């Protein structure tokens, strides 16, 4: 009787305890994946609920310029009396938006071109030379040119960063396609009369997904950095939008008097990029151990 | 009328070197092969590895484009058809692959794998197709509820049954079987071979059966073509070939096959040297470098595959003129 109750007790306890143990084991085995994921989720959450936790990032209080951190302004104020904390929080929105957009655009475009160049040898010769050419364009130069031609906006920045990233994705996808297209199950599909588009989508595309996810995280990290660099140079996001690059650019003149104005966005930038890279490394170890860090 | 006929089939793979990828040599993998298969018949292609037997199989389906020669499926010339036009003929000739692991997409369920050819050709509704797939599973000795499982859940023999079910899906007249049992355990080999033979009887299938295993060939074949360095050197009915091989290479090959009786001894003909490179095949008869009976004519004149004077089977050897 006693054992029976004990057994029932254990059975009732087991699922939640087992879940806890599983989570702990997952963290122990994938520390980078977990750390990167946790930091990023936190930053994403903060960016999402920015209006709830931070004040208006644009309100200027000329009387309160360059104030050190205080109870009213947790991270102090900048040279126009704007709240550094609010601006840092809102800056996360732009950084994450740019990072995610560039990663998804370059993956979608690169996947499409990569599938075609990998499968059709005639397309390959032409398209890959074109990609080599694109790869030679520095993102910053392209952004300056685009901003000069059109006008500064977040979209311009995204386009400018995406273009040089596309060839990297193309190369990665192409290399996977080249190896998979010779697989006997692809031959079997051809013998079974499967049309080319279906071979590409059903048999080849799924093999590109794990390395692409990993690559997308690295692209995301580099896009966040390039966006900040462009803003810093004044060739990126318009200065009225609070971004980390803009904040650093505007604060550099006051570095010695008000270092907090530059520390907040600087540290935020470093932490987010680090988190994205940790996430990428963790994903790579899980999904695709053989992939080199950069194709 | 033969269901599959190939004539003077050639496949030369270019060897490209250097920055400009100039063709510096050609690997003559298949160099003038002709044969035909009647309905319900099994023609075996045997030979050492690298003799081009698998390439012939793939050429017949146009999975590889032939350099020269012609392929006729059911009497219709398909050698120069475009991809789209070829699709109509694909359903008449299907293939079973050597590697039961690599030839099934690991990400698809068994039912999807077997049903893919159906999906490509029929307008039947999903449930109708499902019934057809279930029938195919039963035909190859698998339980229909295995449709929902993934390839890794099957054994090697079961996987090869899936491969056979996929090949049967379109009711083909010919199946090219490229060493379909060489990757399987011996105990399973017999089961799969017997399945193939039962299906042949039931459906009147013709097989082009590629193998290096003479024991397997003796079990399943009706006629046998022996290949050496991209050419057929002898083509004969199975019994005649095993009882009285005419070409010296066939003789050596048969003498090398193990006998099932451990005390039995047979006179081994041991060939000297290696198979010459198919990039630079020997002059005259390609076998002269290793043939124990070669004489001066063999070095200069290439023997044609023609009826031998004894019983009319096809042999390419000057000794039989």
pLDDT tens track for A203-248: 999 999 988 998 999 999 999 999 999 889 888 888 888 999 999 9
Phi, psi of A271 (to 5 degrees): -65, -40
- For testing the chain B interface, which of A125, A193, A196, A208 should be mutated: the one with the most B CBs within 10 Å? A193
Contact (Cβ atoms closer than 8 angstroms) between residue A268 and residue A252: no
| The pair of three-digit structure tokens given for residue B149, joined into one six-digit string | 């499982």
- Number of structural domains, chain A? 1
A276 domain residue, yes or no: yes
pLDDT, block means (10 residues), chain B with 321 residues? 92 86 88 94 93 93 93 91 86 94 93 94 87 95 94 94 96 94 91 95 96 92 94 93 92 86 79 86 91 90 84 86 74
Task: Give residues 126 to 185 of B whose Cβ lies within 8 Å of A.
Answer: 163, 166, 169-170
A208 domain residue, yes or no: yes
Given CB atoms, is A202 within the 8 Å cutoff of chain B?
yes
Q: Which residues of B276-288 are buried (b: 16+ CB within 10 A; e: fewer)?
A: bebeebbebbbbb
Q: What is the DSSP letter of B35?
A: E
Given CB atoms, is B64 within the 8 Å cutoff of chain A?
no
Q: What is the DSSP letter of A266?
A: H
pLDDT of residue A12: 52
With CA atoms as reference, the chain B residue closest to A207 would be: B107
Task: Give residues 226 to 285 of A whose Cβ lies within 8 Å of B.
Answer: none
Distance from the Cα of B62 to chain A's closest Cα (Å) equals 8
A57 domain residue, yes or no: no
3-state helix vs strand vs coil in chain B, percent to 5: 35, 25, 40
Query: Per the CB < 8 Å rule, is A183 touching B102?
Result: yes
pLDDT of residue B129: 92
pLDDT of residue A174: 94
Q: What is the DSSP letter of A77?
A: B
A17 domain residue, yes or no: no
Given CB atoms, is A125 within the 8 Å cutoff of chain B?
no
CA dist B290 and B254 (Å) reads: 16
In the numeric block, the tokens 């990297």 are attached to A168
Given CB atoms, is B94 within the 8 Å cutoff of chain A?
yes
pLDDT of residue B88: 85
Query: Per the CB < 8 Å rule, is A192 touching B94?
Result: yes
pLDDT of residue A292: 45
Query: Per the CB < 8 Å rule, is B103 touching A184?
Result: yes
- For testing the chain B interface, which of A119, A180, A185 should be mutated: the one with the most B CBs within 10 Å? A185
| Residue of B103, B107, B121 with shortest CB distance to A188 | B103
CA dist B289 and B305 (Å) reads: 19
CA dist A257 and A253 (Å) reads: 9
Residue A9 has pLDDT above 70, yes or no: no
CA dist B154 and B156 (Å) reads: 7
With CA atoms as reference, the chain B residue closest to A197 would be: B120
pLDDT tens digit sequence for A100-132: 999 999 999 999 999 999 999 888 888 999 998
pLDDT tens digit sequence for B269-300: 888 888 888 888 899 999 999 998 989 999 99
Query: Domain with A222 in it: what CATH number?
Result: 1.10.3720.10
| Residue of B95, B104, B105 with shortest CB distance to A191 | B95
Residue ranges of domains in chain B: 4-92+172-246
Enter the pTM of the model: 0.83
CA dist A275 and B133 (Å) reads: 49
Pairs of CB atoms within 8 A across A/B: 55
Query: Per the CB < 8 Å rule, is B120 touching A187?
Result: no
- For testing the chain B interface, which of A121, A192, A208 should be mutated: the one with the most B CBs within 10 Å? A192
pLDDT of residue A68: 86
- Which positions in chain A touch B91 (Cβ < 8 Å)? 193
CA dist B295 and B283 (Å) reads: 13
CA dist B284 and B13 (Å) reads: 21
The distance of Cα A74 from the centroid of its chain, to the nearest Å, equals 27
| The pair of three-digit structure tokens given for residue B161, joined into one six-digit string | 């049954």
Query: Per the CB < 8 Å rule, is B103 touching A193?
Result: no
A7 domain residue, yes or no: no
Q: How far is CA B85 from CA A64, A277, B72, in A?
A: 78, 50, 14
To the nearest whole percent, how much of chain A has pLDDT over 70?
92
CATH topology of domain B4-92+172-246: Rossmann fold (3.40.50)
Given CB atoms, is A206 within the 8 Å cutoff of chain B?
yes
Distance from the Cα of B235 to chain A's closest Cα (Å) equals 27
Q: Which domain holds residue A277?
A: 40-51+70-287
Query: Per the CB < 8 Å rule, is B95 touching A188?
Result: yes
- Which positions in chain A touch B107 (Cβ < 8 Å)? 206
Contact (Cβ atoms closer than 8 angstroms) between residue B156 and residue B183: yes
CA dist A215 and A222 (Å) reads: 11
| Residue of B97, B107, B120 with shortest CB distance to A188 | B97
More confident residue, A164 or A72: A164
The CB density around residue A143, as the number of other CB atoms within 10 Å, is: 26
CA dist B321 and B307 (Å) reads: 9
Query: Per the CB < 8 Å rule, is B90 touching A184?
Result: no
The total number of residues shown for chain A amounts to 295
Residue A6 has pLDDT above 60, yes or no: no
Q: In what order do the strands lie in the sheet with B22-37?
A: B22-37, B4-17, B68-73, B76-77
- For testing the chain A interface, which of B65, B101, B115, B116 should be mutated: the one with the most A CBs within 10 Å? B116
- For testing the chain A interface, which of B58, B92, B105 should be mutated: the one with the most A CBs within 10 Å? B105
In the three-class reduction of DSSP (H, G, I as helix; E, B as strand; rest coil), residue A256 is classed as coil
């Amino acid at each position: 009787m006693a054992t029976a109750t004990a057994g029932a007790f254990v059975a009732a306890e087991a699922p939640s305890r087992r879940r806890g143990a599983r989570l702990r084991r997952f963290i122990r085995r994938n520390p980078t994946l977990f750390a990167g994921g946790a930091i990023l989720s936190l930053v994403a959450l903060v960016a999402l609920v920015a209006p709830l936790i931070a004040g208006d990032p644009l309100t200027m209080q000329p009387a309160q310029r360059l104030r050190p951190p205080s109870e009213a302004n947790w991270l102090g104020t900048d040279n126009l009396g704007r709240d550094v904390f609010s601006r840092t929080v809102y800056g996360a929105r732009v950084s994450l938006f740019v990072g995610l957009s560039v990663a998804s655009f370059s993956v979608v475009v690169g996947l499409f071109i990569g599938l075609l160049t990998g499968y059709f040898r005639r397309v390959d010769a032409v398209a890959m030379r074109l990609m080599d050419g694109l790869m030679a364009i520095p993102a910053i130069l392209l952004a300056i040119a685009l901003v000069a031609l059109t006008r500064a906006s977040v979209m311009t920045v995204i386009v400018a960063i995406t273009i040089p990233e596309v060839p990297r994705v193309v190369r990665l996808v192409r290399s996977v396609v080249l190896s998979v297209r010779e697989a006997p199950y692809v031959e079997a599909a051809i013998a079974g009369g499967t049309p080319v588009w279906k071979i590409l989508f059903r048999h080849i595309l799924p093999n590109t997904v794990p390395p692409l996810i990993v690559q997308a995280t690295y692209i995301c990290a580099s896009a966040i950095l390039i966006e900040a660099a462009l803003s810093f140079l004044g060739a990126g996001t318009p200065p009225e939008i609070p971004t980390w690059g803009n904040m650093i650019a505007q604060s550099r003149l006051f570095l010695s008097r008000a270092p907090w104005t530059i520390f907040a966005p600087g540290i935020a930038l470093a932490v987010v990029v680090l988190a994205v890279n940790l996430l990428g490394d963790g994903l790579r170890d899980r999904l695709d151990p053989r992939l080199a860090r950069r194709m | 009328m033969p269901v599959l006929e190939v004539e003077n089939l050639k496949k030369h793979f270019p060897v490209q070197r250097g920055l400009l990828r100039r063709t510096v040599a050609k690997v003559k993998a298949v160099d003038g092969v002709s044969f035909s298969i009647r309905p319900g018949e099994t023609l075996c292609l045997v030979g050492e590895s690298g003799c081009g037997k698998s390439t012939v199989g793939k050429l017949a389906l146009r999975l590889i484009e032939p350099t020269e020669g012609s392929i006729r499926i059911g009497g219709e010339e398909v050698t120069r058809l475009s991809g789209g036009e070829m699709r109509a003929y694909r359903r008449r000739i299907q293939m079973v692959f050597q590697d039961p692991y690599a030839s099934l997409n690991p990400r698809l369920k068994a039912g999807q794998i077997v049903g893919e050819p159906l999906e490509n050709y029929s307008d039947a509704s999903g449930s109708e197709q499902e019934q057809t797939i279930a029938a195919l599973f039963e035909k190859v000795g698998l339980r229909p509820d295995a449709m929902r499982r993934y390839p890794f859940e099957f054994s090697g023999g079961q996987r090869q049954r899936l491969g056979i079910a996929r090949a049967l899906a379109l009711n083909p007249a010919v199946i090219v079987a490229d060493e379909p049992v060489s990757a399987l355990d011996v105990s399973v080999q017999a089961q799969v071979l017997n399945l193939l033979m039962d299906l042949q009887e039931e459906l009147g299938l013709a097989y082009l059966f590629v193998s290096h295993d003479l024991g397997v060939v003796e079990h399943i074949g009706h006629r046998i073509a022996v290949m050496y360095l991209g050419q057929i050197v002898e083509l004969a009915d199975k019994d005649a070939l095993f009882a009285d091989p005419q070409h010296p290479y066939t003789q050596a090959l048969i003498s090398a096959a193990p006998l099932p009786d451990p005390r039995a001894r047979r006179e081994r003909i041991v060939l000297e040297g290696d198979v010459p490179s198919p990039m630079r095949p020997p002059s005259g008869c390609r076998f002269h470098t290793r043939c124990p009976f070669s004489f001066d004519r063999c070095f200069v004149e290439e023997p044609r595959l023609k009826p031998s004077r004894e019983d009319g089977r096809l042999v390419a050897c000057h000794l039989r003129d």
